[in-house]
């Protein structure tokens, strides 16, 4: 049996996606919840935030840059690279700057390969796909 992380996992349907928006698949692949983005007709999939698992799919996005809605860390969706570490801590809906140690950078997001078959969207971690070659 092929371990899940080496195989494709169905995470969404094309009808779930809107151009330019993020989508929370609520699907765990290789231990992390997958966020999907549709940018200029191409699907991109990354893990939840590497800081405290914030929902990256709900962050503000410009091009391939997305900011985490919880503490504003910024990431490149195409590579997973952290562009800026967290800068604020939210408590009860308010933003409290300075209650959390600010760091310049974080671990990158996990990036996933994406394929579409019919109306179904599948992902698998890029690193694991490379290892399976």
The site for ligand FES (CB under 6 A) is made up of 49, 51-52, 54, 68, 70-71, 73, 86
CA pair distance 9, 24, nearest whole angstrom: 15
Q: How far is the CB of 49 from ligand FES (least distance, A)?
A: 3
Q: How far is the CB of 80 from ligand FES (least distance, A)?
A: 13
Q: Which CB, 70 or 122, lies closer to ligand FES?
A: 70
End-to-end CA distance of the chain: 17
Q: Which CB, 49 or 123, lies closer to ligand FES?
A: 49
CA pair distance 10, 6, nearest whole angstrom: 13
Q: How far is the CB of 35 from ligand FES (least distance, A)?
A: 12
Strands 120-125, 9-13: pairing kind: antiparallel
Cβ neighbours of 116 (radius 10 Å): 13
């Amino acid at each position: 049996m092929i371990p899940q992380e080496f195989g494709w996992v169905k995470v969404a349907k094309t009808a779930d996606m809107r151009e330019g928006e993020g989508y929370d698949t609520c699907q765990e692949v290789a231990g992390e919840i997958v966020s999907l983005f549709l940018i200029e007709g191409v699907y991109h999939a990354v893990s939840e935030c590497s800081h405290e698992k914030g929902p990256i799919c709900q962050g503000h996005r410009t091009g391939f840059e997305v900011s985490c809605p919880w503490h504003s860390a910024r990431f490149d969706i195409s590579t997973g690279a952290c562009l800026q570490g967290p800068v604020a801590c939210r408590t009860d809906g308010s933003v409290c700057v300075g209650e959390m140690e600010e760091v310049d950078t974080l671990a990158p997001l996990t990036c996933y390969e994406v394929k579409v078959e019919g109306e179904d969207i599948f992902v698998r971690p890029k690193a694991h796909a490379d290892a399976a070659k």
